[in-house]
Chain A
């Protein structure tokens, strides 16, 4: 019997080895490197990170929060349209269109946005050509607004996919029951659908947050240099100074921001489960 147990452990060994070697080891090493200097514990890297980049940390948090809020509003609207709209053919087109960004990598999206949002980019040129603007009036969206636009555009597909999936999984009869009791579609969205898909919404937003925190190409290509996002600072510390300690300290801050959001989400979902039990 015991031998059988041991055999089962061997079965998971390759996967466990891969995870520890390529994920746990680098993670622990980066945490270790963030708080040590020549083997001795120190907070100097973190001090330095805060001293040089506290503005960028704030900038990162604001960018991510604004993007996540916009994401929530937009993806709930699209998913609600898909679920509740009486115009089935329009819904079919929308259902196809919103998925497109799923298949476009961040770096391509960033490049597209750069040519689209710049002062002499595609968007402004189109406005000028259609006579809505003169070349003097055009403004560049490159910078914080461009970063938000790119993040929202790219992550919208993913979070809408999760949210509309959760909405589709609801029993259609629940929506019909509310309708024949006189509820409008908007009321059904807020009273019947959203409370039930809140866990999926949470997952979509937490995962999107983590993705946005880790993207390097978007702040590098669309950001204007300063302030910028933590991921760009980390790349800069490594590329320009070979300073892995401060880069890892910035990584630690990044983990903590994600962990804070994850904690908030978990607490909320546990609270909901507690109420249901």
Chain B
């Protein structure tokens, strides 16, 4: 396992460019998650890494070696596929041992290594099973063992959990992470599930329309998103454009922002998470607290399990807040978001000229 370095990579189909100047480094033994919405180019990046797609420009290094123009079979990067891509005419052991057989390793050695891998992925005793007889979770473990069998320089995983049902997904997620820590392989995992990325990865790269928006530890990405897109994608589902036009808020309703460095004139986008909102049914007018204050009415509430997700209307805006009780419709409520939980970004028209690091955090 070695360090993976992608330098200024451009990939496209015909005239359409899918990836723009991607530069990314995955350190030895690190698990990096590529996170982004559908169509942002995550899988294209993996395919380019594996050699399934030609690259237009840039370089890919594994250790000191450049692999950009090697064919897929010479790259020593293996992939775990969303569809598992197991070969149904082979047994579990044949699937796992295929790469070793291609490398002309002795049958005895193959058997020992397949056995060891089956132990690692907790499938001991299933060597002779047909892969079609296995459950989804088991199949994905076979696929993982098959990809690890040839000891690749880099392991890439293309949404490996999205075909599994919710409970199995959690189990396999932890297993892959535990295995990665145990064996220390360099890996790149593609996902569109932010929770999956936060739990599994050492670092996360957020991709949007073929560009990397931000790379950082899960904590950094979550708490200090570098752009409006990252904030939105990482679950800051409430959004408002500042300053508020009076016509957007009714007479009896109000949105105020106090004790922050956002002036009344500054044009910006404000994002915050529903779990950071404290909702109180009593309307008090407390000027001393800093942050965002919203007065509004309950539109509806949805039961989430341990609490309720309350939708609150304030003029033309709708905000989401978590609250422990159910609230009847049209109840007047006050929402408060502390200043540190607000993610504030300059308005796109202004921000387009400014670098991303100019995003203000309060």
How far is A181 from B78 in the complex, measured between Cα atoms in Å? 6
Q: A192-218 interface mask toward B, CB cutoff 8 Å, 1 = contact, 0 = none?
A: 100110000000000000000000000
In-complex Cβ contact of B146 among A176, A177, A179 (8 A)? A177
Residue in A179, A191, A196 with the greatest tally of chain B CB atoms within 10 Å: A179
Tell me the smallest distance from the CB of A189 to a CB of chain B, in Å: 13
Complex CA–CA separation, A176 to B158 (angstroms): 12
Q: Is B87 an interface residue (CB 8 A)?
A: yes
CB within 8 Å of A: which of B274-300? Answer: none
A174: chain B residues at CB < 8 Å are 85-87
Does B52 have its Cβ within 8 Å of any Cβ on chain A? yes
Interface size class of B (residues with CB under 8 A): 20 to 34
User: For chain A, what secondary structure do more than half of its interface residues adopt (helix, strand, loop), or is it mixed?
Assistant: helix
Contact with A along B72-90 (1 / 0, CB 8 A): 1111111101110111110
A105 cross-chain contacts in B, Cβ below 8 A: none
For residues 168 through 183 of chain A, which have their beta carbon under 8 Å from a beta carbon of chain B?
A: 171, 173-174, 176-183
Within 8 Å CB of A191, what residues of B? 98
**Once the chains are docked, how many angstroms separate the CA of A198 from the CA of B71?**
28
The interface size of chain A toward B, counting residues with CB under 8 Å, comes to 18
Chain B nearest CB from A29 CB (Å) reads 44
Closest B residue to A176 using CB positions = B52
Instruction: Evaluate contact between A187 and B89: CB separation under 8 angstroms.
Output: no
Q: B60-79 interface mask toward A, CB cutoff 8 Å, 1 = contact, 0 = none?
A: 00000000000111111111
Pair A180/B72 contact, Cβ less than 8 Å? yes
- B215 interface residue, CB < 8 Å from A? no
Chain B proximity mask over A89-119: 1 for CB below 8 Å, otherwise 0: 0000000000000000000000000000000
A176-B50, A176-B52, A276-B130 given; A182·B89 CB < 8 A: no
Q: Are A182 and B79 within 8 A (Cβ)?
A: no
For B102, list chain A residues within 8 Å (CB). Answer: 181-183, 187
Closest residue of A by beta carbon distance from B103? A182
A3 within 8 A of B: no
With contact pairs A177-B79, A177-B146, A276-B132 given, residues A182 and B99 touching in the complex (Cβ less than 8 Å): yes
With a cutoff of 8 Å between Cβ atoms, the chain B residues found around residue A195 in the complex are: 89
CB distance from B86 to the nearest CB of A (A): 8
Whose C-beta in chain A lies nearest to the C-beta of B156?
A180
A173 CB contacts on chain B under 8 angstroms = 81-83, 85
The answer to whether A184 has its CB under 8 Å from any CB of chain B is yes
Q: CB-nearest residue of chain B relative to A86?
A: B71
Interface centre among B50, B73, B74, B146 (most CB of A within 10 A): B73
- In the complex, what's the smallest C-beta–C-beta distance from B2 to chain A, in angstroms? 16
A276: shortest Cβ distance to chain B, in Å?
Answer: 7
The reply to whether A180 and B83 form a contact with Cβ atoms under 8 Å apart is: no
Q: How far is the CA of A101 from the CA of B181 in the complex (A)?
A: 59
Q: Which residues of A contact B130 (CB under 8 A)?
A: 276
Q: How far is the CA of A187 from the CA of B81 in the complex (A)?
A: 20
Is the beta-carbon distance between A171 and B98 smaller than 8 angstroms? Answer: no
Contact among A171, A176, A192, A196 for B79, CB-based, below 8 A: A176
Residues of A within 8 A of B72 (CB): 176, 179-180
Whole-angstrom distance between the Cβ of A264 and the nearest chain B Cβ:
21
Of A171, A180, A192, the contact of B78 (CB 8 Å cutoff): A180
Question: Is B51 engaged at the interface, CB distance under 8 Å to the other chain?
Answer: yes
- Asked if B150 is at the interface (CB within 8 A of a chain A CB), the reply is yes
Residues of chain B contacted by A183 (CB below 8 angstroms): 73, 98-99, 102
Sample of 10 A–B contacts (CB below 8 Å): A174-B85, A176-B79, A177-B79, A177-B86, A177-B147, A180-B152, A181-B98, A191-B98, A196-B87, A276-B89
With A171-B83, A180-B51, A182-B74 already in contact, 9 other A-B pairs whose C-beta atoms are closer than 8 Å: A173-B83, A180-B75, A180-B152, A181-B73, A181-B102, A181-B149, A182-B73, A184-B73, A196-B87
| 6 smallest beta-carbon distances between A and B, as pairs | A181-B99, A173-B85, A177-B85, A179-B72, A173-B81, A195-B89
